Amino acid sequence: MVVFPSAPGNLAELAAAAPQTQFVAASGADLPAGANVSVIRLRPEYTSFTAGYLGVVLAFDFRMGALLPAEGTAAETFVNGGRFFCGLCNSTYSPIVRFPVVSQAPAGTAAGQWQQAVDTLQQNYLYVMYVSPEAASSELLSYLTAMGYTLYGGQTPPDEFRSRWAATVREDLVTPLRALWPGVIAGQGGQTVEASVEIADVNADLLSAGRLEQVQKMIAEMAAGRIYPFNPPME
């Protein structure tokens, strides 16, 4: 068996060259499963939707922001996730703002530019900040920690930031791989399963068991097809 956490561009060639080997590949694109190829279908929109939902669950008065990549649909689904929980998400206290608020920048943006984005977002008086993997750096996390934010993101942070890190929202490849495993080791390819969304690195001092349960119920509803990340909620 060969497992690719990210599907290579020449997967079909590899599978054809080694017909006795079972391949498992994770991909956000639609890959055709084959006699010796099984697919874990990644859903990044599920992860960003969950991250937006978790942020407004965490934040007092919904006051939360996010640092997101300009590429893809992360901003759209992140905002949809937040507003799925709170509708208009208007703050109660001044300044009256509709949350969540986001800042986007291209991949490779320097930490100093992300810090400028933080300063702009902070004009809305935020308490919680989501840091995407594209934005995360020790320099930026140090800056955010010094400002007193509750942080969360898409990657496990260095240990020195754990006291301010509420949770990590990421794709779970282990659960679908376990589902595929019996068939794959028996030589049965052609399977396709959906990746899961996992809440990891939970800091119980920042994310209570009740709030975590609320988020996990939403994840289960989304996995069952009853929540669609690209549909904005009724407002």
pLDDT by residue (tens digit) across 190-204? Answer: 999 999 899 999 999
**pLDDT tens digits, residue range 10-28?**
999 999 999 999 999 999 8
The answer to whether residues 145 and 34 belong to one domain is no
Q: For residue 163, what is the domain's CATH number?
A: 3.40.50.2300
Is residue 234 one of the residues assigned to a domain?
no
- Say yes or no: 80 and 161 in one domain: yes
| 96 & 210 share domain | yes
Domain encompassing residue 9? 2-43+172-196
Structural domain count of the chain? 2
Same domain, 87 and 166: yes
Same domain, 32 and 128: no
Using an 8 Å Cβ cutoff, are 200 and 168 in contact? yes
Residue 233 included in any domain: no
pTM: 0.91
**Is 124 inside any structural domain?**
yes
150-153: strand order across its sheet: 101-105, 64-69, 128-131, 150-153, 165-172, 196-200
31 shares a domain with 80: no
**Residues 112 and 28 grouped into a single domain:** no
